[in-house]
Amino acid sequence: MPANLTPQYMELEKKLKTARMAREKLEILEEMLAVIPKHKGTEKMQAMLKTKIAKLREAGDKKPGAARYVSPYLIDRSGAGQIVVAGLPNSGKSSLIKALTGANPEIGDYPFTTKLPAPYMMKFENVRIQLIDTPPLMTDFIDTGLAEAVKVSDGVLLVADLASEDPASDLEAVLLQFRERKVELQGIEQPLPEQVPPYRKRSLVAACKSDAPREENLETLRVLFGDRLDVLAVSPVSGQGLEEARKCLFRLLRVVRVYSKAPGKKPDLDEPFTLRRGSTVTDMAQAVHKDFAQNLKYARIWRTDKLQGQMANREQVLEDGDVIELHM
């Protein structure tokens, strides 16, 4: 399947061939991973880039005679997408993950309960989204591993504590720390420019502990950050905003759910293929089987009441909920 690499990616590939220093190679590889088109045709290339990045980071962290080091933040992607969950100490981050996923991350009333990043799966309708719980960040420092994890993720769930004395100042300080690590957080519907760095990531701000008696804090967050970030009030205790948070995180991923249908049979609506927005029939065929895209003769598409089994060409752009019947 064609990778459809952009001119920007090809230019970075040329720069990589002439790079000599490990730090320079690492920065170029990170940029390549950020700009490479995200679809089935580039999955192997994405995996190769991640492997090269991991090896260079490991070589940089390794000292003579020291034990081999692998960053705990390098967690394999699973499900429809990977979202990093970050927040200050005692912001309610782990409680929110528990409420969203039904899992049981360690929760405590003391700072730094979460010591290592860990993946959890959140169900939204008929797909699962991977949430990465992370150790607490600070207003004056962000761990390099966390910043790198965000760069290769699909987005960020940033937890703000409404019970804090000044959550707006806390959030501004955190955004500044991310900027210093060349990461710019923005709203879930804002377009991502191709220029990097900084690495621009879609993010949702979960204003946690919305049942705390400080309603003015929520309004302040929305007034100060509403033009650049999505701020949603949530409460793991009462359940307020949890379903809306799931919907927002799915929107953040910018994916569509597409269903495969065998001729003469009903589609399996419980197991969709998740593809990037803008994916085509060819991308769908590649997702079903690596040989299908090459041998595809034609396809039929069902789309609510608009299309009912009409023939579709290879470049037909797919929408969420489409049912595709592939013919070899």
| Cα 269–Cα 272–Cα 273 angle in degrees, nearest 5 | 155
Tokens of 20: 């000599």
Read off the tokens for 294. 């090459």
Pairwise CA distance, residues 253 & 275, whole Å:
10
> Do the Cβ atoms of 27 and 57 come closer than 8 Å?
no
Distance CA 3, CA 12 (A): 15
Cβ(206)–Cβ(167) below 8 Å = no
- Residues 140 and 168 sit within 8 Å (Cβ to Cβ): no
pLDDT digits (tens, 9 = 90+) for 101-120: 998 766 555 444 556 889 99
Mean pLDDT, residues 222-243: 92
- Per DSSP, 66 falls in state P
* Residue in the structure block whose two tokens are 């953040």: 252
pLDDT higher than 50, residue 233: yes
Highest mean pLDDT among 24-33, 50-59, 167-176: 167-176
The pLDDT of 24-50, averaged and rounded, is: 83
C-alpha dihedral (130, 189, 245, 87), degrees to nearest 10: 70
Backbone angles phi, psi at 128, to 5 degrees: -120, 140
Residue 110: per-residue pLDDT: 45
Whether the ω angle into residue 197 lies within 30 degrees of 0, i.e. cis, is: yes
Three-state secondary-structure class, residue 262? coil
128, with CB counted inside 10 A (0-12, 13-18, 19+), is middle
CA 34 to chain CA mean position, Å: 12
When pLDDT is cut at 50, 70 and 90, the band that residue 15 belongs to is confident
Second-level CATH architecture of 255-327: Roll (3.10)
How far CA 45 is from CA of 29, 32, 90, 290, in Å, comes to 11, 10, 39, 15
231: confidence class by pLDDT, cuts 50, 70, 90: very high
Q: Which helix (H) or strand (E) holds 247?
A: helix 242-253
Beta partners for residue 298, in sequence order: 327
**pLDDT tens digits for range 246-295:** 999 999 999 999 998 888 788 888 889 899 989 888 888 888 877 777 78
**Rounded distance between C-alpha atoms, residue 217 and residue 205, angstroms:** 13
Strands 298-303, 323-327: pairing kind = antiparallel
pTM of the model: 0.74
For domain 82-253, the question of CATH label 3.60.20.10 is answered with no
**Structure token digits, residue 140:** 């004056």
Question: Rounded distance, CA 190 to CA 227, Å?
Answer: 10
pLDDT of res. 194: 64
**Residues of the chain by 3-state class (helix, strand, coil), percent to 5:** 35, 25, 40
Q: What residue segments make up the domains of the chain, in order of their start?
A: 7-61, 82-253, 255-327
Q: What is the mean pLDDT of the chain?
A: 84
